[in-house]
Structure 1
Amino acid sequence: MTNQDVVMPDIAAAAAMPGSSGRAPLFACRGAAAVSASSMLGGGGAAYQAAVVAHVAPVPSIRPCASWVVEAMRASSPTRPAAAAAAAVDVEYDAWTRKHPSALGSFEQVAAAASGKRVVVFLDYDGTLSPIVADPDMAFMSDEMRAAVRDVAEHFPAAIVTGRCVDKVQSFVGLPELYYAGSHGMDIKGPSSNEEEDTKILLQPAREFLPVINKAYKALMEKTKSTPGARVENNKFCLSVHFRCVDEKRWNPLAEQVKAVLRDYPELKLTQGRKVLEIRPSIMWDKGKAVEFLLKSLGFDDDRRDVLPVYIGDDRTDEDAFKVLRKRGQGLGILVSKCAKETDASYSLQDPAEVMEFLVRLVQWKLRRSSSAMRPRV
């Protein structure tokens, strides 16, 4: 089957799975620190969308207290350790990497796990393919990284799974041959044959929330404009309140502002990412559900044992995908981090540079195997 062959799954069953719990706080840091489916199914889109919404049970909305929000903000923004504590941090990180070894240093183990299986590659964007930057509109990937991702998509089914608006991340990546799951998997599109052709919308399970999300966006823009450095990003099916450029002394007032807005929108819930607060629809849908949907769309159901999903991400929101792979009993989660964190990932990489090296080695491994298979036996 090629990367373009798509079989639509029974998404209603997939959507009914329980939601995942939140992650524990970060430990010390090492170093510097469905729109209608008629476009694919030929009709019945309204019924399809209704089935998705009906089977995605609302999550009880818990109004976040400001103190919890601020603690979460601090947890995602570890400070550089003092010299006296740096050695202890390094010891902790070294112990952590024994549980979550480098995917580069353990590449032979990764290759052994992939042997004889169809590898499917899932990639987060910010902090994974591009560095984390102060201005989210400037989070560009390098030409070398783009070439590495292009090579991956040529040899494996591949998808970008991100909290970003799908249109924005498509413009950053610029590779039409990929699958894209934006807004934490709430806006999923399939590959197109060229950059000018529109990608196919596969699923938008939170489409009915668009009006309230737009209202909340305007309210957050107005409410947070008094906080220097705060930035609200509209990612279509979710909102991101970036506080990377906000003085830590202003975090508590910013949390109060976000809390005040959310009181008026009980349909939305607050989650935490890497130096960002995320406001999302209160449905049981996340990056893990997006991975399940894409695997089913590709015909790789849970009972297929000849498939190896590989998910690489750096954020707390990627833990939902790591958890899905662990639950399936197959697949490799790779956390991009220089910090020791509680994670369901099996392996680790330190930064986007190592991610690129890993992707290059994965393609080289595939080419060697293909060359060996084609070589005539004597």
Structure 2
Amino acid sequence: MRHLFSSEGEAALVAALQYQPLLAFDFDGTLAPIVPRPDDARVSLAVAGRLSQLMRWLPVAIVTGRQVDDVRERLGFVPSYIVGNHGAEDEADPAVAQALSEALESARDLLAQREPVLRAAGVSVEDKQQSIALHYRLARDRDRARQVIDEVLQGVGPALTIFGGKLVVNLTPADAPDKAHAVRSLVARSGAGGALFAGDDLNDEPVFATAPPHWLTIKIGREPPQSRASFFLENPAEMALLLERILAMLPGRISR
């Protein structure tokens, strides 16, 4: 990966904007910094203000692991689209969202049975309907907490998918749409000619790995070095600067 604030990155940004792209962003670790308590996460006024301005020219989407209703109040602006639960919760298709929630009933039963063991290890269970997150950021012994999670989830069948994140383990139905599916669907729905997508975690990698050549993909942070994103930003603090650069490029370049 190369830093987006480079001559190559500047050229890629200019090229991507020629396609009048959907601007799509993860939330935690991308638009908002990771914080010890997820309930404290918010988009800064600078980032929210720039995203609101950008919507005069381009569609803006939030594609997050959080529930739609959870993230909506944390943004400080109203985006064109929000897709939650790692791509599985799309307000445009409530029937699919309901079916995916029902597919997690066996996992809910298992986690309820093992709740005392998980709680003793410092693991908190967050049921987001279309996915379930097992958080261990606040555990005293994170290695032990992750071991307990792995032991508990050995009872999960093949109908469910398990994937990690930043001090969290996620469960989704195996046939649930992922973020790559979500972004492709939003590009088609919005009529955009492509996408600029920024994310920071493992659940963003499907977008990076499957993006067409004219999309611009941005990893927040340098790790892991094997990320399939085209460029990186050092941290969420650089997001406001990126959005400012996009705004500066738009007048005279894009007409709607």
TM-score under structure 1 normalisation? 0.61
Is 2:2 aligned against 1:101?
Answer: yes
CA distance in 1 between counterparts of 2:149 and 2:176 reads: 27
| Within-5 A mapping of 1:82-161 | 100-106=1-7, 107-114=9-16, 116-161=18-63
Structure-2 separation of matches of 1:367 and 1:202: 35
Q: Does 1:352 align with 2:232?
A: no
Show the counterpart of 1:244: 137
Structure 1 unaligned spans of 5+? 1-99, 190-200, 301-306, 374-378
> Structure 2: 5+ residue runs without aligned partners?
none
Offset, 1:232: 1.4
CA distance in 2, matches of 1:151, 1:217: 42
Q: Cα–Cα, structure 1 residues 315 and 308, in superposed 2: closer, same or farther, change >3 Å? A: same
Q: Distance in 1 between matches of 2:102 and 2:65?
A: 19
CA, structure 1 residues 108+204, in 2 after alignment: closer, same or farther (shift >3 Å)?
farther
The letter for the 2-side match of 1:321 is V
Aligned to 2:184: 292
Quick one: which amino acid aligns to residue 46 of structure 2?
E
- Largest Rg, 1 or 2: 1
Q: Is the 2:179–2:204 contact (alpha carbons within 8 Å) kept by the matching residues of 1?
A: yes
Gap change, CA 1:364 and 1:204, over 3 Å in 2:
farther
Name the stretch that deviates more: 105-114 or 340-349. Answer: 105-114
> What are the equivalent positions in structure 2 for 1:305-320 lying under 5 Å apart?
307-320=193-206
Change in Cα spacing, 1:288 to 1:151, as seen in structure 2 (3 Å) is same
What is residue 165 of structure 1 aligned with on the other side? 67
**1: CA distance, partners of 2:40 / 2:47:** 16
Query: Does the Cα contact within 8 Å between 1:187 and 1:204 map onto a contact in 2?
Result: no
What RMSD, in angstroms, separates the aligned Cα atoms of the two structures?
Answer: 2.2
CA distance 1:249–1:323, shift in 2 (3 Å) = closer
Q: 1:244-263 to 2 correspondence within 5 Å?
A: 244-246=137-139, 247-250=141-144, 251-260=146-155, 262=156
Q: What is the alpha-carbon distance in structure 2 between the residues aligned to residue 366 and residue 202 of structure 1?
A: 32
Going from structure 1 to structure 2, the CA distance change for 1:133 and 1:320 (only over 3 Å counts) comes to same
What does the per-residue CA deviation read over 1:70-89, in whole Å, with 9 as the maximum and x for residues that have no partner?
xxxxxxxxxxxxxxxxxxxx
1:111–1:365 Cα contact (<8 Å) kept:
no
Q: Which residue of 1 aligns with 2:86?
A: 184
Deviation per CA, 1:157-195, whole angstroms, max 9, x where unpaired? 110011111110112114334200101111123xxxxxx
Aligned residues: 249
The equivalent position to 2:104 in structure 1, one of 182, 195, 213, is: 213
Offset, 1:115: 5.2
- What's the CA shift string for 1:220-265, capped at 9, x where partnerless? 252512212x1211222001111122213413123212334x2xx5
CA distance in 2 between partners of 1:209 and 1:108 (Å): 40
Task: Write the letter of the residue equivalent to 1:365.
Answer: M
SS state at 2:203 partner: helix
Task: Give me the TM-score of the superposition, normalised by structure 2.
Answer: 0.87
The verdict on how the C-alpha distance between 1:154 and 1:204 changes in structure 2, with shifts beyond 3 A counting, is: farther
State the percentage of identical aligned residues.
28
CA separation of 1:268 and 1:115: change in aligned 2, threshold 3 A: closer
- Distance, in Å, in 2 between the alignment partners of 1:224 and 1:218 is 14
How big is each residue's C-alpha offset from its partner over 1:124-165, in whole Å with a ceiling of 9 and x where there is no partner? 001001111121122222222211221222321110011111
Q: Which amino acid aligns with 1:334?
A: I
Task: Tell me the distance in 1 between the aligned counterparts of 2:108 and 2:64.
Answer: 19
Per-residue deviation, 1:208: 1.4
**How far does the alpha carbon of each residue in 1:261-304 deviate from its partner, in whole angstroms, 9 at most, with x for none?**
x2xx543221112221010001052100111111121235xxxx
